Structure 1
Amino acid sequence: MNVKEPGGDAVEPAGGSWASAGVSALERGLAVLDALGEAGRAIPLAELARRTGSHKSTLLRVLASLERCRYAVRTADGRYRLGPVLLRLGQAYGRAFDLRSALEPVLARLAAETQEAASFFIRESEGRVALARVEGRQEVRDVVTIGAVLPLQGAAGQVLQLFAEGPRADVPLVHGSFGERTPEVGALSIPVFRQGGVLAGALTLSGTVTRFRDAAHRAAMTTLLLREAAALTRDLDG
């Protein structure tokens, strides 16, 4: 990176200077946030060190900065958890896609009519992110938290890859998977498009493989996915 000093020409910082050190510190901070997010609860420093592979002394310096900026919080018993700023950032991330208001009634209807979990996934680099979700009412069901980053596997992963360039007439709209990502989980997924045929994401139902292998249940879910995806695509002017 070139740095322009006041009144001077742009200069390239020497190797090992503040630039590379700053990037390294940022990556350590992000690794700490990832570990806290994966833990899903407040954890002690020792566990955080084990999860990140960092020394406690290094972690304390990183955590001090994260606490000052409210990205992390130290609880009364000395444990650490994610801070309130991340909730605001997560909400802003969701708003950036202008989808949440349209998604909520769709997911609620799907979950109510099928009793299965209804989710909406978007592609993020080489993974997929759960942008929104309504839990099903089945006693046995899969668990995916909003914001979770999953591999491009399963029905949603297939849809996000197959329709990345827009609508296609040579492949089915609805795709299914049976234990592809997790052995006990089945899913059905369908693409939703924005204006201009741009892929908005994958509308998905998920539950146990046993239920999703039932032909009648799968046919009913397919009909509902086709209906809701068409309506959502219209709402997004797709």
Structure 2
Amino acid sequence: MSTLQTLDRGLRALDIVSQSPSGISVADLSRELDVHRAICYRIVATLEEHSLVTRTADGRIRLGVAAAVLASRFEPQFAADVRPVLHALADKTRATAFVSVAQGQHCVVIMVAEPEGTLLRVGYRVGSSHPIERGAAGIAILALRPESPGDSDAVRRARADGYSLTRGQIEHGAVGIASGIALPQGVGPSTGLERSVGVVALDGLDTDRAADAVMSTAREIERLISV
């Protein structure tokens, strides 16, 4: 496959900058890109012209406002693509299905779907937030991150199994199952797109069947956001 080298370098530079929340110097960026510093300056200047990066007072490079605008435009597209898949998961498992996103040290529900014809439902609503290390949704997101000595047993188990299963951590009597949604290649956690999909129910959840359905849904969402 033929690619444009300059465009490729610019996109790689954006990815590197996105993984440096405190900013990165031009010298360090040029080393990461393996290009001469003069070429790196031109790449940065071009990205800066389009507000994709900006310079701090000490000259370090950070993401610019245009990167946030692009991310915000992705959200409606994500919601439109994922909503029918999430409803299908809810109906298949007879449980409340959800998509959650990492936000600092918390996990926030951004989408919810209820199964048709079910009267007993869990109080899981858009905007619900809990510490990322508690509950299936947050643990599933942590399991997608690189291994760390500080990982809990729950995160290690979720990484090995492909999903997290928790009982009563967020709501008494509730069982939650979630699987992380892997980011497209080249996109880092610092973009703020770390997500998981899962289901939660108060009782009667067939956990083995639900785990298979949740993992299958996570792979389907990954396919949708990668095309």
Range class of TM-score, shorter chain: 0.5 to 0.7
Note if contact 2:137-2:196 (Cα within 8 Å) is conserved in structure 1: yes
For the aligned residue pairs, the C-alpha RMSD in angstroms reads 2.7
1:155 aligned onto 2:136? yes
5 Å matches for 1:37-186? Answer: 95-97=73-75, 98-136=77-115, 137-152=117-132, 153-165=134-146, 171-186=160-175
State the alpha-carbon separation in 2 of the partners of residues 95 and 193 from structure 1: 20
1:190 aligned onto 2:179? yes
Runs of 4+ with deviation above 4 angstroms = 92-96
Give the AA of the match of 1:127: H
Larger Rg: 1
State the alpha-carbon separation in 2 of the partners of residues 94 and 116 from structure 1: 29
State the alpha-carbon separation in 1 of the partners of residues 72 and 128 from structure 2: 13
Which stretches in structure 2 are left out of the alignment for 5+ residues? 1-69, 148-155
TM-score (norm 2): 0.55
Instruction: Note the alpha carbon deviations across 1:188-214, whole angstroms, 9 max, x for none.
Output: 000112211656411010011x323xx
TM-score (norm 1): 0.53
Give the AA of the match of 1:100: A
State the alpha-carbon separation in 1 of the partners of residues 175 and 138 from structure 2: 13
CA separation of 1:191 and 1:170: change in aligned 2, threshold 3 A:
closer
CA separation of 1:126 and 1:224: change in aligned 2, threshold 3 A:
same
SS in 1 for 2:208: helix
Which stretches in structure 1 are left out of the alignment for 5+ residues? 1-91
Give the AA of the match of 1:146: V
Give the AA of the match of 1:141: R
CA separation of 1:198 and 1:211: change in aligned 2, threshold 3 A:
farther
Does 1 or 2 have the higher relative contact order (CA < 8 Å, sep 6+)? Answer: 2
1:202 aligned onto 2:182? no
How many residues align structurally? 141
Instruction: Note the alpha carbon deviations across 1:76-122, whole angstroms, 9 max, x for none.
Output: xxxxxxxxxxxxxxxx9975534211210111101111111000000
